[in-house]
Chains A and B, each alone.
Chain A
Amino acid sequence: MLKKLITAGFVLALSTTASNAREHISIAGSSTVLPFATIIAETFGKDPTIKTPVVESGGSSVGKKGVCEGIGTKFIDIGNASSRMKTKELAFCDKNKVKLTEIKVGYDGIVVANSKKGKLLEISKADLGKALTAKIPMNGKWVDNPYKKWSDINPSLPDIEIRVYGPPTTSGTRASYAEMVNQKGYCAKDKEAKAASKARGDKKGKKCRAMRTDGAFIEAGEQDNLIVQKLQEDPNAYGIFGFSYLDQNSDTLQGAIISKTAPTFENIAGNNYSVSRALYFYVKHQHIGVIKGIDKYMDKWVANWGDDGILADAGMIPMPTAERAKYAKAMKELPVLTADMLK
């Protein structure tokens, strides 16, 4: 009996390693793109002649690194990302001779929200950066962020303790937030911070991206739903997460008005709301035609990424028409992504 089981096991293992042709499209990457990619994958898979693509989670870096890892069916075909590929990441692709095309699919707003029972936050981007960045300049010296209450930063802000739940360092949402608010909104704008950044040899203010670790900013894990639940229980706390979660919970949560713009669908789509980032996927040329249906999968995006499409309904912010046309064209012509394009 034992013998049979062992041989059966080995035969099974060997027979499958020999035949590793893959029939489904394999996608991995950003957990922000995942809800939208899965919607497309599911609609696409309703066609009985096609196997539904497998969409893995993992994070933007997993998507960008995974798609560059090599050519062959054991590697993924498409990498999702909520931040653009960097030249360094593309170099890894070049090293492995992987050719990619970059497709932008839409936008996602990052909101700072709290319970409707709490006070609505109306704040400038610079003040928001001041509230959560780890160090701020005082008389030319960088000191640990001293602000305990919102009103310490600006008397017009609510007189409650700063307590913000947000994603951990592995998250693309966190990285984008830190770049757009802490760095570009505060350290590159605020006069004092700008001068102090220059003085410490950090012209672009990149060092400001670090978030506070003294309890004012609380890492709440990758699960945005967890943050939503915490906000519903604690009206004095704020949370940072993707727009779709605010959209789904619009009856209990309110989004902070940042630099006089409320985080609404129209404002993000119209590029008025400044804390938003683009969502991408990177498709590997060498797999198109080898894995069945990659071109048709891309067509499904085009069919559904419009203003009335199912993706907008799920909370993705559509691109303007001209941009949609540009990337629909890119799907057909497949321009190879080069380092120059990323500059």
Chain B
Amino acid sequence: MNDAILEVRDLTVRFGTKRGVAHVVNGISYTINRGETLAIVGESGSGKSVGVLALMGLLPQPPALVTGSVRYHGRELLDLPPREWRSIRGKGMAMIFQDPMASLNPVRTIGYQLIEPMEHHLRLKGKAAQNRATDLLDLVGIPSPKERLKNYPHQMSGGMRQRVMIAMGLACDPDVLVADEATTALDVTTQAQIVELVGRLQEKIGMAVIWITHDLGVVAGIADRVHVMYGGRFMEQASVDNLFATPRHPYTRALLGSIPKPGKERPAKLMTIAGMPPDPVLMPAGCPFAPRCAHADGARCDDTIPQMESLGGTHGAACHYPLEAKS
């Protein structure tokens, strides 16, 4: 079962801007296996969304410049002609977006939008497509799915629309589903339902999920492995248990420290990380986190970019001075 579906090597995305070249994603690498959930966590502007858009081939080039390698079942995607890439998008790899209010076409019925990718990729038509669309809506937990096919997006709530988006993503049995902040725009109870739904579907269908989020709570609920992203690089990668139990990168620890923990005694002041994320046009020469890091040495950290080093097993951190595992 442990075959790699997607291998990303040294993926880099740069944008030409008026102020200079923006280094948004600076060489990220990861592998995702069948049935696995990989979470990519990072704050706004860390390059996590751009990274997956590049992966899906959805960044217009130019202005974007994407380099590196993305292998899907061993096939290099970045060199693929647009036509062939299109046949993978939606079929092999599907994506759900942040704002369910905006990601459905307001002038088309739910049914039309669900069936469109099926017609395109699976050559399903008429009754067969209708039935599959009904089944999909049922699968994502929408009551009276048959009637709902005739609805327009504005007749549905945010949570329902996100379910419809998931159904659309699943329409052609993808083996990779990319969820880009898929729960961010939803309220907390709906969030939990969507997280639970994706987890359940994943078990049932066996697809891999790349979950992009800034919400560590969601990560804990859904992910197998976590990559922490900052300034367009991975700072730390670990299994979800290891990451929460023994964060080794100062950034991860600071991030975790800034979350209030229920049950424990409330600290006088919630920890914050001073400063701002780096400007992608003026990336520091060394570790991107160095200017904000309490452990930076002021020399090596500012000059040399730390590489991802293994700290035992799958746990790795890109830091010159990884923190000791707390006992």
- Real complex partners, A and B? no
